[in-house]
Amino acid sequence: MRLQAFGVTEPGAGTDTTRITTFARRDGDHYVVRGQKIWISRAEHSDLMVLLCRTTAREEAARPSDGMSVLLVDMREAVGNGLTIRPIRTMLNHATTELFFDDLRVPVGNLIGTEGQGFRYILDGMNAERILIAAECIGDARFFIDRASAYAREREVFGRPIGQNQGVQFPIARAHVQTSAADLMVRHAADLFDDGQPCGTEANMAKMLASEASWFAADTCLQVHGGFGFAEEYDIERKFRETRLYQVAPISTNLILSHVGNHVLGLPKSF
């Protein structure tokens, strides 16, 4: 049983989750879902999906974050019966899709938690997702550092290993330092989450630091390999493209900085 799909983002809402419009209307012992989602990864490879939708219109809710609910959708029954999945071709192998809901019927028993309180549940899931992605970025960074170090030791130009040159050696060393520091932040955020403590800020910071460490390591690795870094057989170009994603998703670096500025430093909200 695979639960890999997380249906939140919509074309007209982006990261402003309170403006989603996919609506689940109560009809007896079912919800009838209409709307659209985008950038939903692994939807084609998942048996179940956690779906965030509105059960009360935004303008009728007491607060913008109220009136959203979470449904567990059985993808095996839904596809072709109100749910259409359309793959999106991208520059990397991320298996992402658009979803179209046309009167999809979901049993009321598939409601997760309390109706109208779904935004709070999703936030908790987002913290876990950001910590998970941050840990993935640490692994990616170490991949790049290992590959760059090995190549710099073996590749000889002008009669000496290129890793003997500080212009090659120092960026690899800096990538290692940045990755080690980011790893500590990721572990701290994971410990807080595992203990059931508030960790929104730490999850955001971990994701930002790890994604930036990974991208710096990727750029360094490609530079160390020179032209060979663009050759498919070395796997560098593939991972280079993939790791760039994580400064955009699942949350952009700018929104993390906005969160820290507003919620940690007490600065005025910028939007």
Active site residues: 129
Does residue 111 come out as left (phi exceeding 0), alpha (psi in the -120 to 50 range) or beta? beta
Dihedral angle sign, alpha carbons of residues 132, 134, 135, 137: positive
Q: What is the dihedral of CA 226, 231, 233, 236, to 10 degrees?
A: 60
Asked whether the beta carbons of 247 and 215 are under 8 A apart, the reply is yes
Nearest to 126 by CA among 264, 262, 8: 8
Q: What is the dihedral of CA 71, 73, 79, 80, to 10 degrees?
A: -60
> What amino acid is encoded at 232 in this protein?
E
Question: What is d(CA 24, CA 140) in angstroms, rounded to the nearest whole number?
Answer: 39
Q: What is the dihedral of CA 230, 234, 236, 238, to 10 degrees?
A: 80
